[in-house]
Structure 1
Amino acid sequence: MARQDAQRCRVGLIGAGTFGLRHSRFIARSDRAGLVAVADPTFGSDRPVPDELREVARYADHREMLARGDLDGVIVASPSEMHVAHALDCLDAGVAVLVEKPVAVDREQARPLLDRVAEDPRARVLVGHHRRHHPAVAAARSLIEEGRLGEIRAVAAVWATHKTDAYFEIEWRRRRPGGGMLLINLIHEVDLLRHLVGEITSVQAIASNKARGLEVEDTAGLALRFENGAIGTLVGSDSAVSPWGWDQATDDDPAFPYHPGQPCLLIAGSRGSVSVPDMTVFTQPEPSWLEPVAQSRVPVQGADAFARQLAHFADVAAGRARPLVTAEDALRSFEVVRTAAQSLAG
């Protein structure tokens, strides 16, 4: 059985690609988790070992890593089609799992994992929609749940930045279905909207690949209807210059420049509205378009969502917390975006 440590979670990592290395850097900054082992099939080949992984035990087979028996949790950052199989192997070894999004490529593939979690109370699975852990998201959710905004009527979200040409040197990002910014990037916005506003009952999409001429989309717009009657829009582009996106509007990832005070999500209700993540709140004593709108700011402290996600994962691994983002929850966000992508193909 894995050792439970109240102070520091001993973490293994499956996948040493872009996302795996990103996780290793965040673990290095954490005071709640430590990376002790990593598994990737390229180890033992001619591929150079990344600097971030030189000081940890390395395995070409993740099952050999799991056989160590001293891991508290494992982060699965392998290719998406392997997420379910690798997560199940971790659960079989008795360790908690943090699975990168998407949790699976469809519900049928996810079924064994969903069934395992439903049937086994010891199965602990957290999905890596890290933005939910940001304190601004918690603050916005509290405003909504407390009724301070009234009934939510409309939402608008934007994610716009300009990816470099080097990003698309990886073949699947140029041509493979799912390689565009809908499933790579906008899935995070969809997950936040579901978390804050409620379930999405219908989605329509339009998209363009004009900027680069690749097979995958570079710009897309979604029209959303929520279960509570609210209407929303989500616009995204990976070929536009702006500070209006989660990565630029927060200080979560030092790889991205920080532009404080910029919103990327607007939520409007019958009694007030809020912009996120800057948490500016707008209200009226008596709602009227003829009356001025009062403005205030909800203070947010300690805005490192990745550190908070790791701390939460340590608590999940130790049995002190239930996963904030379950496999079923994450799959619903994926299904909304996949429905949008399929509507483009039709």
Structure 2
Amino acid sequence: MNKNLQIGVIGLGRLGYQHAANIRRAIGADLVAISDPSNKALERGEKDFNVVAFSDYKQMLSEVDLDAVVVATPTQTHYDILIDVINAGLPIFCEKPITYTLEEAKKILDLVTEKNHFIQIGYMRRFDPGHVKAKELIMSGKLGDPIYLHDCQRDPNGPPPEYVPMSGGLFVDMAIHDLDVARWIMGSEITEVYAQGAVLKHEYLKELNDIDDGQILLKFANGSLGMIEISRNACNVYDVRTEVVCKEKSVFVGQNQLTPYTLVGDEEITVDMSNWVLDRFKDAYEQEIQAFVDSVRNSEKSKVNAYDGYMGLKLALAATESYRTGSKVVIDF
């Protein structure tokens, strides 16, 4: 494809708005249409992006000459929208999770496989420069075989109470990213999970049947082991780290500071850190959209496909089941 990719965005919440802005920055792409049922979100997007706006995404699909679509709506709406966009024959970038239920995810996986349809799932950490470099080093063989992974993700604080019922719970809402990183960076499927969790700070989560801290023990198909730590108690800091121990060397990915300065004085050394995901993974969000544009324009395979979306949700739901039953869950393939 020689011309710029003409892209429409469905959903203008926090991530949808960010994706729309990143499309404007991408090489080889034009943002040409947006859709959201919220008048407030739509007015903001129309003002900031100066493109045609629709309250009904179906109208956007039928009236605008699009080459691709970004889906960033609430997860419960993904399935119906994905079916419509697949039937329209348009390549898709879809925010995680791919769908709300595993049954829906399997239907989407089967459909895109049958139709050889392009879909990229929004696991942005695969495009984070630190994680990319770690993966490259592991793949090179210079570190020796990877044998153990430790990954942590700590949100600055608890989520808004109204968000919790639609989030899928701690393991689906947050750990799905870490589980995807684990199977990707270790180069092996996860075969067993054992999870535990508790409410340690945000008491309102008890009434909502959710937790604010969790741990997941992992076993990989190649015999390697791992542990994932999930927390909503990082005290106004967004803290994400991945450590992979290999037979010869280890590689650590993390964030020590947001901007390159250190304040020294009064018996203290202080650095600034990000307090939200859009700051910490700014480059990753931009790179995943650029990868989407490049893959579609060059007729390349998706770098994060429907199977990755399906497996991320399958593992997150397995962790949720393990937490609720107090037993390990064996993953079938």
TM-score > 0.5, shorter chain as reference: yes
User: 13, 16, 26: which one pairs with 1:17?
Assistant: 13
Relative to 1, partners in 2 of residues 1:94 and 1:337: Cα closer, same or farther, differing over 3 Å? same
Relative to 1, partners in 2 of residues 1:233 and 1:111: Cα closer, same or farther, differing over 3 Å? closer
User: Shift of the alpha carbon at 1:156?
Assistant: 0.8
CA distance in 2, matches of 1:151, 1:209: 37
Describe the SS at the equivalent of 2:73: coil
2:31 aligns with 35
User: Shift of the alpha carbon at 1:25?
Assistant: 3.0
User: 141, 153, 163: which one pairs with 2:147?
Assistant: 153
1:200 aligns with 2:187: no
Relative to 1, partners in 2 of residues 1:60 and 1:309: Cα closer, same or farther, differing over 3 Å? same
User: 91, 94, 97: which one pairs with 1:99?
Assistant: 94
1:186 aligns with 175
Alignment size in residue pairs: 294
CA distance in 2, matches of 1:142, 1:13: 32
CA RMSD of aligned residues (A): 2.4
1:325 aligns with 304
- The structure with the largest helix share of the pair is 2
User: 114, 121, 130: which one pairs with 1:119?
Assistant: 114
User: 153, 160, 165: which one pairs with 1:168?
Assistant: 160
Which amino acid counterpart does residue 266 of structure 1 have in structure 2? E
CA distance in 2, matches of 1:158, 1:73: 34
1:314 aligns with 2:305: no
Which amino acid counterpart does residue 204 of structure 1 have in structure 2? Y
TM-score (norm 1): 0.78
1:211 aligns with 201
CA distance in 2, matches of 1:232, 1:243: 24
Relative to 1, partners in 2 of residues 1:125 and 1:176: Cα closer, same or farther, differing over 3 Å? closer
Give the alignment of 1:1-346 within 5 angstroms: 4-6=1-3, 8-43=4-39, 47=40, 49-54=42-47, 55-121=50-116, 123-163=117-157, 167-169=159-161, 171-173=162-164, 175-176=165-166, 178=168, 180-197=169-186, 198-213=188-203, 214=205, 215=208, 216-241=210-235, 245-246=239-240, 264-277=241-254, 304-346=283-325
Q: Structure 2 stretches of 5 or more lacking a match?
A: 257-280, 326-333
Relative to 1, partners in 2 of residues 1:137 and 1:119: Cα closer, same or farther, differing over 3 Å? same
Relative to 1, partners in 2 of residues 1:176 and 1:96: Cα closer, same or farther, differing over 3 Å? closer
Describe the SS at the equivalent of 1:67: helix
CA distance in 1, matches of 2:136, 2:238: 23
Assess if the C-alpha contact under 8 Å between 1:10 and 1:71 holds in 2: yes
Describe the SS at the equivalent of 1:115: helix
CA distance in 2, matches of 1:344, 1:11: 40
User: Shift of the alpha carbon at 1:65?
Assistant: 0.4
User: Shift of the alpha carbon at 1:176?
Assistant: 4.7
User: Shift of the alpha carbon at 1:9?
Assistant: 2.3
1:293 aligns with none
Which amino acid counterpart does residue 196 of structure 1 have in structure 2? I
CA distance in 2, matches of 1:244, 1:82: 28
1:298 aligns with none
User: Shift of the alpha carbon at 1:155?
Assistant: 1.1
Q: Structure 1 stretches of 5 or more lacking a match?
A: 247-263, 280-301
Which amino acid counterpart does residue 272 of structure 1 have in structure 2? K
Assess if the C-alpha contact under 8 Å between 2:33 and 2:64 holds in 1: no
Assess if the C-alpha contact under 8 Å between 1:135 and 1:303 holds in 2: no
Assess if the C-alpha contact under 8 Å between 1:203 and 1:225 holds in 2: yes
Assess if the C-alpha contact under 8 Å between 1:10 and 1:33 holds in 2: yes
CA distance in 2, matches of 1:200, 1:157: 14
CA distance in 2, matches of 1:212, 1:24: 33
Describe the SS at the equivalent of 1:207: strand
Relative to 1, partners in 2 of residues 1:95 and 1:335: Cα closer, same or farther, differing over 3 Å? same
User: Shift of the alpha carbon at 1:319?
Assistant: 4.2
